[in-house]
Amino acid sequence: MEAAQILPILSVAIATSTPLIFACLGETITERAGVINLSAEGTVMLAAMTGFAVAKTTENWGDISLLLGFASAAIVGVLIALVVAFGALTLKQSQEAIGFVLALLCADLSSFLGSNFVRIPGPTVPSFPIPWLKDIPLLGALFFQSDLLVYTSYLLIFLTAVYFYRTRAGLMLRAIGEQPAAAFARGTNVILMRYFYTLLGGALMGIAGAAFALDFKAGWSHRHTAGYGWIALAIVIFGGWNPLRVALSCYLFGILQSLASVAQSTIPDVPTQVFTVAPFVLMILLLVLTSSDRLAILLKRLPPIVSRITTQTIQSIPPAALGKVFEQD
């Protein structure tokens, strides 16, 4: 394939990945704090519906309608996350059960409440090429000729990574997911912090919903974002709970998706289902490889540098306290 063919594939990939970047980084933040928000599928869908409905209703107000759409989607995400956090952290019930019920409930809620907004044109995020940068050959066309939402996602990746690994607060965030008892002994209010990060993650997942309905899959229809929430959960695992790797995995998924549409015409022998199923198979394989000791045994035979780099790139170990109840007295 030539560069001229690859470029459109990659730009479609970035467009497909952007909402997932928000959803996956949100889930990453929540899970690193030790809480699984399994409601992603429902959260993204209900937030997409709400974001579209609000932006559509306020369409005459001008550009502010888009902002209102994103804000309301984020609020929906926060509210759903609040239910997860309350059930999991205050009532100490199974996070998986509550998240799962919410995933189904909110998906159905989005169909029930959004029936008046099905398949009508609505406002979309305008494109916004960045002056000068957009003229860089290749890179400009790829990264700097989209809209503010895409640029925000770049910024979000960078900020999340810096926050996780270069700030004290980020250290505490990782601590409450790994060693909540130790973090508590050092004076951190583990439950409060977990509430905060669950809500923050929920807000980002809500924004992901709006990113679908107001930008990359503009509009609303029955189960408009079906599947993306589950995919987001898989990508977080595939990315090993590390924001940079999670973001890369999102782009990898985007490339797979845009390849799928190209492959249909160029290599018809490969069934397209391969591309949609691949992320899940890869996730499971990676989990099998890294959660059992087999990989470690295998890597020990390699030279130390190689084994260290491989471990860092593909290791996928969940936060130690993920999904566990923490008794704080």
Partner 1 sequence: MTKSFFYQISSFAIALIILTGMILLSGASPLAIIASMWGGAFGTLDQVARVVSTLAPLLLCASGLLFTFTAGLYNLGIEGQISFGAIVAMIPIRLFQDVLPPALVIVLAIGLGGVGGALWGLLAGALNVYGRVNEIFAGLGLNFVADGLALYLIFGPWKKEGVASMSGTETFHESLWLPTLANTDISPISLLLGIAAVVITLVVLRGTHFGLQLRAVGQNLRASYVLGIPSTRQLLSAFAICGSFAGLAGSLQVLAVYHRLIPSVSSNLGFLALLVAMLIGLNALLILPVAFFFSALNVGSLQLPLELNLESSLAGVIQGMLVLFALLGRGLSETLPPQAIRRQIAIWFDKKQTAKG
Tokens representing 311 are 């471990």
Segment contacting partner 1 by CB under 8 A, of 15-23, 105-113, 141-149, 176-184:
105-113
Segment contacting partner 1 by CB under 8 A, of 10-18, 25-33, 241-249, 284-292:
284-292
Does 327 help bind partner 1 (rule: CB under 8 A)?
no
Does 86 help bind partner 1 (rule: CB under 8 A)?
yes
Nearest residue to 170 via CA among 156, 160, 158? 160
Q: Which member of 167, 266, 291, 313 binds partner 1 (CB under 8 A)?
A: 291
Nearer to partner 1, 12 or 236 (CB): 236
Does 96 help bind partner 1 (rule: CB under 8 A)?
yes
CB 194 within 8 Å of CB 172:
no
- Measured CA to CA in angstroms, residue 172 lies from 164, 178, 188, 189 at distances of 9, 10, 8, 10
Scanning residues 129 to 168, which ones bind partner 1 (CB under 8 A)? none
Q: Which member of 107, 183, 207, 213 binds partner 1 (CB under 8 A)?
A: 107
Does 76 help bind partner 1 (rule: CB under 8 A)?
no
Q: Which member of 51, 69, 77, 87 binds partner 1 (CB under 8 A)?
A: 87
Secondary structure, 3-state, the chain: CCHHHHHHHHHHHHHHHHHHHHHHHHHHHHHHCCCCCCCHHHHHHHHHHHHHHHHHHCHHHCCHHHHHHHHHHHHHHHHHHHHHHHHHHHCCCCHHHHHHHHHHHHHHHHHHHCHHHCCCCCCCCCECCCCCHHHCCCHHHHHCCCEHHHHHHHHHHHHHHHHHHHCHHHHHHHHHHHCHHHHHHCCCCHHHHHHHHHHHHHHHHHHHHHHHHHHHCCCCCCCCCCCHHHHHHHHHHHCCCCHHHHHHHHHHHHHHHHHHHHHHHHCCCCCCHHHHHHHHHHHHHHHHHHHCCHHHHHHHCCCHHHHHHHHHHHCCCCCCCCCCCCCCC
Nearest residue to 315 via CA among 258, 219, 245? 245
Nearer to partner 1, 126 or 227 (CB): 227
Scanning residues 218 to 277, which ones bind partner 1 (CB under 8 A)? 227, 230, 233-234, 237, 271, 273-274, 276-277
Q: Which member of 266, 280, 296, 313 binds partner 1 (CB under 8 A)?
A: 280
CB of 191 to partner 1, least distance (A): 12
CB of 284 to partner 1, least distance (A): 5
Q: Which member of 14, 38, 157, 256 binds partner 1 (CB under 8 A)?
A: 38
CB of 308 to partner 1, least distance (A): 22
Does 10 help bind partner 1 (rule: CB under 8 A)?
no
Segment contacting partner 1 by CB under 8 A, of 10-18, 102-110, 190-198, 296-304:
102-110
Could you tell me how many residues of this chain bind partner 1 (CB under 8 A)? Answer: 44
Does 209 help bind partner 1 (rule: CB under 8 A)?
no
List contacts with partner 1 (CB under 8 A).
Answer: 38, 83, 86-87, 90-94, 96-98, 100-102, 104-109, 111-113, 115, 227, 230, 233-234, 237, 271, 273-274, 276-277, 280-281, 283-284, 287-288, 291-292, 318
